[in-house]
């Protein structure tokens, strides 16, 4: 498949035609009516298919995050994890926080973990 030609042809399509093409490419329907959004989603999928999509290793790594700088606000730490773990997701996600012992950052992180543990047991 020539992705460039496919994209050029899709740019001439009406929204209804793009929704049909979306169904062909993704195997599911969409209620979207934004032409630019439909074009981008279809193009991204076609390009990823043409390039062999993500490897299994890349898929696994997408479920992991490592933090080497901790924010002072604990909510921001939860937000980081939320970026890789979504509510409807069934895969297990992992977050590693790299913290040096006996530092101010380490003390704050230790207190944060203690607070989380105490809240989890109540």
Round to whole Å and give the CA distance between 67 and 105: 13
Q: What's the pTM?
A: 0.44
**Is 66 in contact with 98 (CB distance < 8 Å)?**
yes
The helix/strand/coil state of 67 is strand
- In sequence order, which residues have a C-beta less than 8 Å from that of residue 34 and are 6 or more positions away? 15
Tell me what the mean pLDDT of segment 15-32 comes to: 91
pLDDT digits (tens, 9 = 90+) for 81-110: 777 776 666 777 777 777 887 888 788 888
């Amino acid at each position: 498949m020539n992705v460039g030609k496919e994209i050029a042809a899709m740019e001439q399509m009406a929204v209804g035609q793009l929704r049909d093409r979306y169904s062909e490419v993704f195997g599911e329907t969409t209620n979207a009516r934004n032409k630019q959004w439909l074009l981008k989603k279809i193009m991204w999928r076609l390009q990823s298919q043409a390039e062999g999509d993500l490897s299994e290793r890349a898929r696994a790594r997408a479920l992991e995050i490592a933090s080497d700088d901790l924010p002072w606000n604990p909510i921001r730490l939860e937000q980081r994890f939320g970026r890789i773990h979504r509510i409807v997701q069934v895969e297990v996600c992992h977050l590693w926080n790299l913290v040096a012992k006996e530092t101010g950052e380490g003390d704050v992180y230790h207190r944060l973990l203690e607070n989380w543990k105490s809240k989890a047991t109540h």
